[in-house]
Structure 1
């Protein structure tokens, strides 16, 4: 985890500026997420600076928003004005929450940057209620244009940790292979194709 944390800690202060180019895609994503979290208890993993959590918290009952990077969480806390939103530093592979604690788990743009994402999905399954929903939007770099591939090349040069270069179809297949039922998906236009996936918890 330390290598990833160092990259994200180092870039926490400029993360929001970097993400502005994808504001339209994120606005579309918020509209998809809000109805699914209405009056629900939500866990967000890899929240970064809290962009998603802050934009959907008014719809939710409560959000626990977590990230492995202390610097990202420090940025997130800086302008948090909601009593329903709590930020903390957590390791998504070893969460401190009880089994079946949350109605919804959100993990956005993270599964492609971590090793062994199937282990993260197993931990998500543990803390999610039996009728719970996983919302897992992810940049799918395998769908990139030539310009996108060049951009990704330079991102990797500066240390961006890309572990899975899925196409949209490959990513949805990966979720299904790990037992999740994908009940809704869409590809949003962003700097890289952003595959929105909404999943039902696998039956035990």
Structure 2
């Protein structure tokens, strides 16, 4: 955990510049997110510099914007942001919130870079209301083009923490196997295929 946090602390200041290359894909994702979070209390995990939260703040009632990297959160707080956003440093594997606290949880482009992502999903299930929605867009590297695989190789060389390489189908199956019903899906064209997944708790 510490090494992964150090990587994101080091890259916080250039994170927004890096993400600009996928601006079109993110614009489409914001459009998908806004109706889902409208008038809802939202928790965003692994939020980085808060790009997503800042783009959908006008739709949500309240967004708790969190990341494990203190530098990412500091960078997020430097920018102008809506009054309904609150920023804090949190570990997605051990959250301080009560059971069933949020209407929606967003974890974007994070489950593939953490060890044991199923544990993160279990903690998300705990803090999400029974009728809540998990939105979990994730880069699915395994189905990538040759040029994308080259980019992934060099990213790993500089310390990018890639733990899971899924195709889109494999990722959606992973969510289903860990207690989620995927009610909406889309693959967005980005530097790497970006699989948008909107999920509800699987009834047991």
TM-score, length of structure 1 as denominator length:
0.99
- Report the Cα distance in structure 2 between the residues aligned to 1:66 and 1:82, rounded to whole angstroms: 15
- Report the Cα distance in structure 1 between the residues aligned to 2:134 and 2:48, rounded to whole angstroms: 18
- Report the Cα distance in structure 1 between the residues aligned to 2:46 and 2:116, rounded to whole angstroms: 15
Gaps of 5+ in 2: none
Once the two structures are TM-superposed, the CA of residue 81 in structure 1 deviates from its matched residue by 2.7
Once the two structures are TM-superposed, the CA of residue 202 in structure 1 deviates from its matched residue by 2.5
Indicate the SS of the match to 2:203: coil
Match of 1:22 in 2: 22
Match of 1:47 in 2: 47
What do you get for the CA RMSD once the two structures are aligned?
Answer: 0.6
- Report the Cα distance in structure 2 between the residues aligned to 1:94 and 1:118, rounded to whole angstroms: 13
2:116 is aligned with 1:120: no
How do 1:135-146 residues align onto structure 2 when only pairs under 5 Å count? 135-146=135-146
Indicate the SS of the match to 2:12: helix
Match of 1:75 in 2: 75
Once the two structures are TM-superposed, the CA of residue 148 in structure 1 deviates from its matched residue by 0.5
Provide Cα deviations, 1:17-40, integer angstroms capped at 9, x if missing partner: 000000000000000000000000
- Report the Cα distance in structure 2 between the residues aligned to 1:131 and 1:43, rounded to whole angstroms: 15
- Report the Cα distance in structure 2 between the residues aligned to 1:102 and 1:7, rounded to whole angstroms: 29
Provide Cα deviations, 1:95-151, integer angstroms capped at 9, x if missing partner: 000000000000000000000000000000000000000000000001110100011
2:5 is aligned with 1:5: yes
Match of 1:86 in 2: 86
Match of 1:58 in 2: 58
Match of 1:98 in 2: 98
Gaps of 5+ in 1: none
Match of 2:35 in 1: 35
How do 1:105-184 residues align onto structure 2 when only pairs under 5 Å count? 105-184=105-184
